[in-house]
């Protein structure tokens, strides 16, 4: 049996038994000093000497011989040593007690008190006891730029990509000694289900992009094109990529895409925002051309093999646009009872789950001119529903 990946989040409470103050308790640091005076970039710009004095005092307190890792620090280090699976310890603390206890798979998302960082060149230094405005950076030799290597309020926490990747893979999440009031860490628990869904979808996409099921039939070789994150609320099911889409790897990156975006009333930026819009073809690779020079139909192997697993990993989709006859036939299965035109004209019957649309190719320009109800009746409703979702 595989061992689940573990992510552990720790906050100031885990270090309290070691003699370090927490931040938000009644007797914590922020009860003694204003955040705005010592823990923001604006405070440092306004009065760097005061900020240095605050962190110099905290640094001396951390180096006090009486401040040592406690049993909780030791237990987490021991868990890391014994756990055969993946493990990552994410701490909001800027002390070094986890390291001293033996933890090595560790991220300090709010920085490290015993390190300094140069605002001029970004160099880190762990050998400076007290900071002052007059100190010169050993790397760039510029004065006045050294600051504590900590994340102040208003700054982005460190290594967030690594943290979210680990959260997406984790099977066990443990939170210790944190108030749950400081974001983004406070949102980790709420984000875990979506991160796990996205990790599973990414793994599935990797399988799709490695697919060679119908490679011998593809004149340009396999290049599966599919897009969309687990959070997407709008799904577009189209036909198969054309040559331009095959070359660029970007769905609807052509004149048909321009017309489709105009129908939906969205910009390219919104259309290609995978957090909002997923695009899945009836086939994922360019199928080639027929003897008349037109694109061949989508390969029949693709949708039965991949659509079910992909749609199962898109749990937030509220509306699916079926673009073109191949998507309409596959999902609505109304022929031979209805033609494509009759199916599109009956668009109200398919709501709220589906919207059937003709393909936005220039070849359908004459169809659009003949069926004025499409622009007069269908498009306003389509745009309204899309606007609500994206």
Write out the catalytic residue numbers. 110
Per the listing, tokens 């931040």 go with: 23
State how far the alpha carbon of 384 is from the alpha carbons of 262, 289, 301, 316, 358, in Å: 13, 36, 35, 18, 18
| C-alpha–C-alpha distance, residues 191 and 213, integer Å | 35
State how far the alpha carbon of 236 is from the alpha carbons of 205, 304, 376, in Å: 16, 17, 22
Handedness of CA 78, 80, 81, 82 (dihedral sign): positive
Q: Which residues contact 375 (CB under 8 A, 6 or more apart)?
A: 368
- Picking from 215, 205, 198, 214, the residue whose alpha carbon sits closest to that of residue 306 is 205
Per the listing, tokens 């951390």 go with: 62
- In this structure, are residues 208 and 306 in contact, taking their beta carbons and an 8 Å threshold? yes
């Amino acid at each position: 049996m595989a061992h689940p990946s573990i992510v552990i989040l720790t906050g100031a409470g885990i270090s309290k038994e070691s003699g370090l103050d927490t931040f938000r308790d009644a007797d914590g640091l922020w009860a003694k000093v204003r955040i705005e005076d010592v823990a923001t970039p604006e405070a440092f710009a306004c009065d760097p000497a005061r900020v240095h004095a605050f962190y110099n005092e905290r640094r001396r307190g951390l180096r006090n011989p009486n401040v040592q890792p406690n049993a909780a620090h030791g237990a987490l280090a021991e868990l890391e040593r014994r756990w055969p699976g993946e493990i990552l310890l994410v701490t909001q603390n800027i002390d070094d007690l986890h390291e001293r206890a033996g933890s090595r798979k560790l991220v300090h998302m709010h920085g490290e008190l015993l390190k300094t960082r140069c605002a001029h060149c970004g160099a880190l230094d762990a050998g400076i006891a007290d900071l002052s405005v007059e100190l010169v950076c050993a790397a760039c030799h510029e004065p006045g730029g050294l600051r504590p290597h900590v994340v102040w309020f208003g700054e982005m926490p460190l290594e967030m990509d690594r943290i979210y990747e680990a959260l997406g893979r984790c099977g066990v999440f443990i939170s210790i000694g944190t108030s749950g009031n400081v974001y983004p860490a406070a949102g980790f628990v709420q984000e875990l289900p979506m991160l796990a869904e996205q990790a599973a979808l990414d793994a599935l996409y990797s399988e799709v992009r490695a697919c060679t099921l119908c490679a011998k039939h593809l004149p340009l070789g396999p290049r599966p094109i599919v897009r969309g994150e687990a959070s997407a609320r709008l799904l577009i099911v189209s036909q198969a990529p054309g040559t331009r889409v095959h070359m660029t790897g970007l769905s609807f990156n052509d004149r048909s895409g321009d017309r489709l975006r105009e129908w939906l009333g969205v910009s390219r930026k919104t259309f290609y925002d995978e957090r909002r819009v997923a695009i899945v073809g009836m086939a994922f690779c360019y199928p080639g051309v027929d003897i008349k020079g037109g694109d061949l139909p989508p390969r029949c192997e693709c949708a039965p093999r991949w659509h079910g697993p992909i749609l199962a990993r898109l749990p937030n989709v509220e509306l699916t646009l079926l673009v073109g006859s191949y998507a309409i036939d596959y999902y609505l299965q109304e022929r031979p009872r209805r033609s494509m035109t009759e199916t599109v004209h009956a668009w109200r019957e398919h709501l709220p789950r589906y919207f059937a649309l003709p393909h936005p190719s220039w070849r359908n320009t004459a169809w659009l001119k003949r069926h004025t109800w499409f622009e007069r009746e269908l498009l306003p409703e389509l745009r309204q529903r899309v606007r609500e979702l994206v």
